[in-house]
Chain A
Amino acid sequence: MTLTTGIMVGGIYALVALGWVLIYKCSGVLNLAMGELTLIGAYVTLSFYAMGIPFVLSILCTLVIGIVLGILVERIFLDRLIGEPILAVIMVTVGLSFFLKGLVGFIWGTDTRVFEPAIFSLKPFTIGFLKISIVYFWSFVLAIVLFLVFVAFFKYTRWGLSMQATADDETAALSLGVSARFVYAASWAIAFMAAGVGGALLGNINGVNISIGYLGLLVLPAVVLGGLNSVPGAIVGGITIGVLQNFAGTYLDAFFPGGVKEIFPFAFMAVFLLFKPYGLWGWIKIERM
């Protein structure tokens, strides 16, 4: 039960982590606003759903809003900072995260809201000897389907290929007629979409409130584990973090009562960085003078 729940939640983390990795691969931006992107996605979906639109359609609407927001954010804030030092770019995403969090809090308030009527029930069903909650199961399926869609887009379409080219070698891609600005905007749009859907799914499980943003921050341990610029790393990292988190919640809680579940991924990450700073599949940068 612990293991399967962990894997299911990890699938959602993997989806959000994919968005993070795409931004980093394509534009080299280390994004700390990912938590707030998931937050926005959760609330937007909730609003659509509260208007009486079916859940799947609400998710589609969230995707559209994600595209618009992603392109806007990239154009207004990130586009002007290409080539600036790393601290400047990171801090712009931090500023962005404050802005978005404040905006969400201002519009929707701090109360926990739930999807009403509930979309999936929490009742468990059994496959063989496994017991899985329906809500976890469908969230996982939806997350994996979207993950595959994004990966397929990345691999087989023209736009996706141009994004891959830019990620690989920006100068060469530019000389072959790929528009880098388009690629940056597209990567932000995809990140917003992925994080938004991830947020909506997480909101389904626990209800929507500000702490969804914290769950979104868990992508950072996930991507560090998998390697910053590796798409397979995102899925492995996401699922590992989900599993670890649930195991910590179940087994370590007896020894360290309290919030060990929330903290464990970060503690794990801090130790992991000491031994393998570039993650499982990240590119190792060799520095020369």
Chain B
Amino acid sequence: MSRVWLPCGDYHQRYAEDQGWWQTNVIKGKMILLLLIVFVVFPLVLDEYWIGVANMVGYTILGALGVQLLIGYAGLITLGHAAFIAVGAYTSTLLILKFPWPQLILDWGLAFPISILVAAIVAGLWSVLFGLPSARVKGFYLILTTMAAQFITVDFILTQYVSKIGGRGQAFSLPPGTIKIGPWVIDTDLKVYFVMITLLALTVMIMANLLRSRVGRAWIAIRDNDIAAETLGINIIWYKLLNFFVAGFIGGIAGAFWVSNCAALSPEHFSWFLSLWLVGVILIGGAGIEGAIFGSIFMVVVMELLQMVAIPLSEYWPKIMFSFAFVKEMAFGLAICAFLIYEPRGLSYRWWQVKNYFNLWPFSY
């Protein structure tokens, strides 16, 4: 069954077309337009501030995609994804700072791209380690083990041990010029934006391709009913661990990107709040890859708007700005509750409804 509504009178003639990404020319045109907008128009139009916001959105999307893969496609509820992002970020930083790179690679600017790849793989393996209990437990108990992953990784290993490498105590900072891709030094927000959008496009492509393959269908079967999936001959332990690996892999990419965005990192960037934030993002966003994207855009932009509202308000009530972090937490908590109660299918469902409405517009049946 195809996933899009074809125009009246159009039929697929081969099975491959059913699985196609861009099934009609209109969709292909729309997607090319979207790519043009994010790659060309945004960098030209947006000013420095909004490019920064866009980078935050990109980071959130990269993180949320991994969570979406775990929760949305395999039903493995995780509340510890920040741990895997943190592992990615720290691996990448330590590789850049401490690894004795050959001069050739430094000259060609390959250190950072290689470190992204290694960070992703290390984060994926770390994720598999904490995914092992999923062979035996699920639901609430799995939530607890992922929480344990969060506390053990970030609050213990990273804070107490990894942060002390090099005797710096708390935070790592990368000297300017160390993050380099090919001939370009990543130093302005605009260049970070291009890194982000490229990584994002690649990740979405990998993930979407996985999801329409045998692997993705196995994950969905496990999510819908794991016992039934097992009777169908799906090796559920293998596929669950694979899911953890891919989710951790994407998390590692997100972490490595965070390094290029921030040029400094400390364990506080990866607190439990981030894990819950990412889950909240996909709850608000709804199902599918587009759910992660909508949720991230919504949450980050809403928080920015909240800050814009708070600045004039703080003249009358200075406490708002002073403890803005708490206002943000309250707003986030309320947003999750409100979405779950009033809009449990999330933003992507509304998007789907709007698309359906305009699909046959103005001549609906």
Could you tell me the distance in whole angstroms from the C-beta of A287 to the nearest C-beta in chain B? 6
Knowing A94-B280, A94-B336, A102-B329 are in contact, say whether A88-B155 is a contact too (CB < 8 A). no
Q: Is the CB of A90 within 8 A of B155?
A: no
Binary contact track A81-112/B, C-beta < 8 Å → 1, others 0: 10010111011101111111111011001000
A-B contact pairs, 26 of them (CB 8 A): A80-B341, A81-B341, A86-B140, A90-B143, A91-B280, A92-B336, A94-B280, A95-B280, A96-B337, A102-B328, A102-B331, A106-B323, A221-B144, A258-B159, A259-B159, A260-B156, A262-B155, A262-B156, A263-B152, A266-B152, A273-B133, A274-B132, A274-B133, A274-B136, A274-B137, A289-B225
Which residue of chain A has the shortest Cβ distance to B344 in the bound complex?
A88
Q: Is A257 an interface residue (CB 8 A)?
A: yes
Which residue of chain B has the shortest Cβ distance to A260 in the bound complex?
B156
Knowing A77-B341, A259-B160 are in contact, say whether A87-B333 is a contact too (CB < 8 A). no
CA distance A258 to B143 in the complex (A): 25
Q: Which residues of B contact A72 (CB under 8 A)?
A: none
CA distance A86 to B319 in the complex (A): 37
Q: Is the CB of A287 within 8 A of B227?
A: yes
Which residue of chain A has the shortest Cβ distance to B156 in the bound complex?
A263
Chain B residues proximal to chain A, CB less than 8 Å? 71, 77, 79, 130, 132-133, 136-137, 139-141, 143-145, 147-149, 151-152, 155-156, 159-161, 225, 227-228, 231, 276, 279-280, 283, 319, 323, 325-337, 340-341, 344
Q: Which residues of A contact B130 (CB under 8 A)?
A: 270
Which residue of chain B has the shortest Cβ distance to A110 in the bound complex?
B323
Binary contact track A244-281/B, C-beta < 8 Å → 1, others 0: 00000000000011111011001101100110010000
Knowing A90-B143, A99-B337, A102-B326 are in contact, say whether A259-B279 is a contact too (CB < 8 A). no
CA distance A210 to B56 in the complex (A): 27
Interface size class of A (residues with CB under 8 A): 35 or more
Q: Which residues of A contact B160 (CB under 8 A)?
A: 256-259
Which residue of chain B has the shortest Cβ distance to A76 in the bound complex?
B337
Q: Is the CB of A267 within 8 A of B152?
A: yes
Q: Is the CB of A220 within 8 A of B334?
A: no
Q: Is the CB of A103 within 8 A of B330?
A: yes
Contact pick for A98, options B71, B159, B332, CB 8 Å: B332
CA distance A273 to B148 in the complex (A): 11
Q: Is A30 an interface residue (CB 8 A)?
A: yes
Q: Is the CB of A267 within 8 A of B344?
A: no
Q: Which residues of A contact B79 (CB under 8 A)?
A: 32, 94
Q: Which residues of B contact A30 (CB under 8 A)?
A: 140, 143
Binary contact track A151-191/B, C-beta < 8 Å → 1, others 0: 00000000000000000000000000000000000000000
Q: Is the CB of A277 within 8 A of B136?
A: yes
Q: Which residues of B contact A231 (CB under 8 A)?
A: none
Q: Which residues of A contact B147 (CB under 8 A)?
A: 220, 266
Could you tell me the distance in whole angstroms from the C-beta of A223 to the nearest C-beta in chain B? 10
Which residue of chain A has the shortest Cβ distance to B276 in the bound complex?
A94
Q: Which residues of B contact A87 (CB under 8 A)?
A: 71, 77, 283
Q: Is the CB of A270 within 8 A of B329?
A: no
Q: Which residues of A contact B327 (CB under 8 A)?
A: 102, 106
Chain A binding surface SS class: helix
Q: Is the CB of B144 within 8 A of A224?
A: yes
Which residue of chain B has the shortest Cβ distance to A79 in the bound complex?
B341
Q: Which residues of A contact B337 (CB under 8 A)?
A: 77, 92, 95-96, 99
Could you tell me the distance in whole angstroms from the C-beta of A219 to the nearest C-beta in chain B? 11
Q: Is the CB of B340 within 8 A of A81?
A: yes
Q: Is the CB of A277 within 8 A of B137?
A: yes
Residue in B132, B152, B328 whose Cβ sees the most chain A Cβ within 10 Å = B152
CA distance A267 to B145 in the complex (A): 9
Q: Is the CB of B151 within 8 A of A263?
A: yes
Could you tell me the distance in whole angstroms from the C-beta of B232 to the nearest C-beta in chain A? 11
Contact pick for A106, options B144, B148, B319, CB 8 Å: B319
Q: Which residues of B contact A84 (CB under 8 A)?
A: 340, 344
Q: Is the CB of A96 within 8 A of B148?
A: no
Knowing A87-B77, A88-B340 are in contact, say whether A273-B145 is a contact too (CB < 8 A). yes
Q: Is the CB of B334 within 8 A of A99?
A: yes
Given contacts A99-B330, A105-B326, 5 further A-B contacts (CB under 8 A): A81-B341, A91-B279, A99-B334, A257-B160, A263-B151
Q: Is the CB of A91 within 8 A of B283?
A: yes
Q: Is the CB of B139 within 8 A of A86?
A: yes
Q: Which residues of A contact B329 (CB under 8 A)?
A: 98-99, 101-102, 105
Binary contact track A60-87/B, C-beta < 8 Å → 1, others 0: 0000000000000000010011001011
Which residue of chain A has the shortest Cβ distance to B75 in the bound complex?
A87
Could you tell me the distance in whole angstroms from the C-beta of B68 to the nearest C-beta in chain A? 13
CA distance A184 to B149 in the complex (A): 32
Knowing A86-B139, A98-B336 are in contact, say whether A106-B227 is a contact too (CB < 8 A). no
Q: Is the CB of B334 within 8 A of A95?
A: yes
CA distance A87 to B140 in the complex (A): 9
Q: Is the CB of A94 within 8 A of B144?
A: no
**Top-7 shortest CB links A-B:** A98-B333, A258-B160, A95-B336, A99-B333, A102-B329, A102-B330, A105-B326
